[in-house]
Amino acid sequence: MEDVKNASVTLFIWGSKSEGQNPWGISFTVLDATDFPSGMIKEETYNIAIPSDIDPGLTYGILFLEWSVYTQPSLETQLDKASFRGTYIKNKDYEDLQTKHNSVLNELQNIRTMTCALFGVTTVLVVSTVYLAKKKSKAKKVRSS
């Protein structure tokens, strides 16, 4: 039978400011239990203040896990870590630019569609006018003969 002892979980979150020139980070202990009973579930919410001047892009975290397993007659310490994507900080100016770009593309597509339609109508009118002019010219020639 194994007993888990000295379980601790520490969360580190990192990002950068000033276009990568200044690192930013925070860490805090999520779990620190001397005795860790089997089947223990711990669910908590943490409010983490992300600086307003953090660089747009990926903010990531690493979860460090440490525990000891006591088996007769020894105590063995275990370590593990897992990295994860914490959040994506959005760039409002960039998103606005993307929205404007998509809007301009839609306007251009509408203009192309209208231009093609007008070209088609103009072509039909020119062909019809030429046809009618030739027909009228033939009719005048037939009457004058």
- pTM, two decimals, is 0.47
What is the full DSSP assignment across the chain?
Answer: --EEEEEEEEEEEEEEETTTTEEEEEEEEEEEEEE--TT------------TTBPSEEEEEEEEEEEEEEETTEEEEEEEEEEEEEEEE--HHHHHHHHHHHHHHHHHHHHHHHHHHHHHHHHHHHHHHHHHHHHHHHHHHHHH-
pLDDT, residue 1, reads 42
CA 112/CA 119 separation, integer angstroms: 10
pLDDT, residue 33, reads 77
In tens digits, what is the pLDDT along the chain, a chain of 145 residues? 467 777 788 888 888 887 778 888 888 888 877 776 666 677 788 888 877 777 776 677 888 888 777 776 766 666 666 666 555 556 677 788 889 999 999 999 999 999 999 999 999 999 888 888 888 877 777 776 6
Residue with tokens 């109508």: 121
Query: Which two three-digit tokens encode residue 53?
Result: 């001047």
pLDDT, residue 118, reads 92
**Domain segments of the chain as ranges:** 3-90, 91-145
